[in-house]
Structure 1
Amino acid sequence: MLSTRLSVAALSAAVALAMTSGSALAQKKYDTGASDTEIKIGNIMPYSGPASAYGVIGKMEEAYFKMINEQGGINGRKITFVTYDDGYSPPKAVEQARKLIESDEVLFIFGPLGTPSNSAIQKYMNAKKVPQLFVATGATKFGDYKGFPWTMGWQPAYQSEGRIYAKHLLSTKPDAKIAVMYQNDDFGKDLLKGLKDGLGAKASQIIAEESYEVSEPTIDSHIIKLKASGADVFVSITTPKFAAQAIKKVAESGWKPTYYQSNVGASVGSVLKPAGFENAQGLLSAAYAKDGADSQWDNDEGMKKFYAFLAKYAPDMNKTDGSVVYGYGQAQTLVQVLKQAGDNLTRENIMKQAASLKAFAPDTLLPGVAITTSPTDFYPIEQLQMMKFNGDKYDLFGPVISGELSH
């Protein structure tokens, strides 16, 4: 009898302890890469190679996490950010993903860049049940919550963007003769599919298509062929290096089409400036983020924080580069997910919190654009606004348009 009383008393004491000082301890849950003091995050970027213009995204994220750490970290934990170069090469991306998970033992991989690289690691990440979170590509397949529950995009899906250009074309130039140049990978094909879906019966107005490989040194010959088609609309589905080449060549050749440039190659600082502002006048694109080059945001509360951050943590970064704005917004979204995760830093809970964002608006997103996700919606940003290049900056026009895809 005595022993029973003792065990009951011991149990009551244990319960009381758990309810007081031990409650926080009892609720802490960690997977590999997380502890009381640290959250270890992996990242893969093309710091070299044909897409190296995007490398600044990784540098911005590193700077953002440095600021968070100086402010005390997240729930008292410091972020360790391990970022590797894959040169925009899928086999190299696989190698780096394995290294991050198996050697560095990160909690998850955040913001790996590029459609080819993310395609190469997607099956591995899902087999390992490690989040491949907020991939830096808009390929639609990275929102497939059923087939790949450990992978989630961040920026608008390329098909959404293609549909939005189609909507604009149909309302402004219904009899257009359209020429398209696209990167020969999932990015190019995805955006082209959105454009064709959006045009519907009028997709037959695409009278010329040219694809290019990222290994090509120049795309001038493709532009000459497209000009010869007699098209009066040009849709350039290109990444920065090739976007700048196209803008230059179209201008040099004297071709004057209505010009649409896909968002990923529309940065004022890293594309239009090298191509020459005089060659980019009237160029159309779509945006979901504020333009760091545009003085209209000088008194915007979010952008004031962004500019202050740049001044202190990334003084060498060019505020007019869309990739600089991108890295900040993406890092800020991840910090929100980690805050929501609290002391449950398991890989499963990271995905659960990423799929539970409710109208979250990073400082750098356009008014009216916000991030909402759910267990059946892995497309965080689905709205864009059309814009036209004028002088040395874009002018936004029209409403914020949703290019929402069926989930």
Structure 2
Amino acid sequence: MVSRRAFLQSSAASLGGLAWGASPSRADTPPGVTETEIKIGQTMPYSGPLSAYGVIGKTDAAYFAMINESGGVNGRKIRLISVDDEYNPAKTVEQTRRLVEYEGVAFIFNSLGTWTNGAIRAYLNINEVPQLFVASGAEMFGDQERFPWTMGWQPSYQTEAAIFGKQILATKPDAKIGVLYQDDSFGRDYMVGLKEGLGAKHARMIVETATYETGATTIDSQIVALRRAGADTFMIVAVEELAEQAINKTFDIGWMPVRYLTGVSQSISSTMTPSGREKLKGTITAVYDKDPTDARWRDDAGFMLYTAFIKKYMSQNEQDDAKVVNGFGVAATMVHVLAQCGSDLSRKNIMYQASNIKSLELPMLLPGVKICTSSSNYHPIRKMQLASFNGSSWELFGELLGS
């Protein structure tokens, strides 16, 4: 049992050890900042086809509430304005402009989605508004040269797919690979990474690809086509609902390929119903944080901090959701950055400090995974570990992989 006091002290301790070079000069009246408050904005799909991912925004708000109860960051409370964009880029643009121009937020934080964040990236960069810790692993959110005000958080989709490619090459060099992917930059990033991991052999190893449009409700015909092409290895690049369909359909038609499931759908509690988990057994994924369903972490100090947070600020049925683990980590990273800012909460300094994170360890990151950023690297997390589903949780194997 971890007491509330111990939890808050430990969370505060994770912000310690801050060291950085000379920072930009302080703005007199930074947007979204008062003597007592830091106001930040976010869009989330609380409705629409990806509404299940709205729990990330709920987790962010809960984490900041916890920080506020302990006094905030350097004496200021965090006020998160999180609004629904329905996973619709037009709505994302509308809501983001309102957050910036009407609400006057200091920056945009952890808004979800590849094409939705892509729709606001230019606007935020032209106006020099930080777009921090985008909830997408698309490579485009690590382009510090062209978009210096935009930064992702989770590992790049290309990095993840390259890890899968190297694993396939090492364990099944004669594999016939079929890929299901969303026909946008989210899905295409995985194809780039997979080909990179497979190297020169990718042209003969990838025997079929099948795409689906954003917002699709079924992918049954694509699964049948991949099987018909003779694929014996299946990479599933899909959001949770469609990933579950892909797993079920594969099982139902008696197709038994080696399956790889991407990180966006690895939450067991929300991707697969309890009755369907046997169908997922043996599937391989790549992870960078602790699986809350894995008994190995029960006595882990970081996991106990997480469960104490869940007990007080969330509901028990959300504890096992990997998306909640994600929100917990992103929010902690944001608090770390704000602490580094000290009294200078200008947008320029917030972005400067976000790009100067040195080996930050967080309670729910895997041992050895650290958050590091610099002016030349806007990918905070760059290592992952492979895991196989054993029927109840993801079982880690191998070493940390990545850059």
Q: How far apart, in 2, do the equivalents of 1:30 and 1:329 lie?
A: 29
Match of 1:139 in 2: 138
The percent of aligned pairs where both chains have the same amino acid is: 49
1:170-215, CA deviations, whole angstroms, 9 ceiling, x for partnerless residues? 1100000000000111110001110011111111210000000122
Q: How far apart, in 2, do the equivalents of 1:249 and 1:92 lie?
A: 33
Match of 1:50 in 2: 49
Contact 2:178/2:235 (8 A) holds in 1:
yes
CA RMSD of aligned residues (A): 1.2
**1:121 lines up with 2:137 in the alignment:** no
3-state DSSP of counterpart to 2:372: coil
Give TM-score, length-normalised by structure 2.
0.92
Call closer, same or farther: CA 1:274–1:97 in 2, change over 3 Å: farther
Find runs of 4+ consecutive structure 1 residues off by over 6 angstroms. none
Q: How far apart, in 2, do the equivalents of 1:40 and 1:253 lie?
A: 51
One-letter amino acid matched to 2:228: A
Match of 1:289 in 2: 289
Q: Tell me how far 1:317 sits from its aligned partner.
A: 4.8
Contact 2:288/2:369 (8 A) holds in 1:
yes
Match of 1:306 in 2: 306
Q: How far apart, in 1, do the equivalents of 2:144 and 2:274 lie?
A: 39
**1:388 lines up with 2:388 in the alignment:** yes
Match of 1:69 in 2: 68
1:15-62, CA deviations, whole angstroms, 9 ceiling, x for partnerless residues? xxxxxxxxxxx9685411011100001011111111111110000000
Q: Tell me how far 1:275 sits from its aligned partner.
A: 7.3
Match of 2:212 in 1: 212
The correspondence of residues 275-354 of structure 1 with structure 2, limited to 5 A, is 276-354=276-354
Q: How far apart, in 1, do the equivalents of 2:182 and 2:274 lie?
A: 20
Contact 1:48/1:87 (8 A) holds in 2:
yes
Give TM-score, length-normalised by structure 1.
0.91
One-letter amino acid matched to 2:39: K
Q: How far apart, in 2, do the equivalents of 1:28 and 1:75 lie?
A: 17
Match of 1:399 in 2: 399
3-state DSSP of counterpart to 1:41: strand
Structure 1: tracts of 5 or more residues without a match? 1-25
Q: How far apart, in 2, do the equivalents of 1:28 and 1:150 lie?
A: 17
3-state DSSP of counterpart to 2:373: coil
3-state DSSP of counterpart to 2:147: coil
Q: Tell me how far 1:239 sits from its aligned partner.
A: 1.0
One-letter amino acid matched to 1:49: G
Q: Tell me how far 1:293 sits from its aligned partner.
A: 1.0
Q: Tell me how far 1:80 sits from its aligned partner.
A: 0.7
3-state DSSP of counterpart to 1:81: strand
**1:167 lines up with 2:141 in the alignment:** no
Contact 1:234/1:258 (8 A) holds in 2:
yes
Q: Tell me how far 1:272 sits from its aligned partner.
A: 2.5
Match of 1:177 in 2: 176
Q: Tell me how far 1:274 sits from its aligned partner.
A: 6.1
Contact 1:248/1:275 (8 A) holds in 2:
no
Q: How far apart, in 1, do the equivalents of 2:231 and 2:169 lie?
A: 15
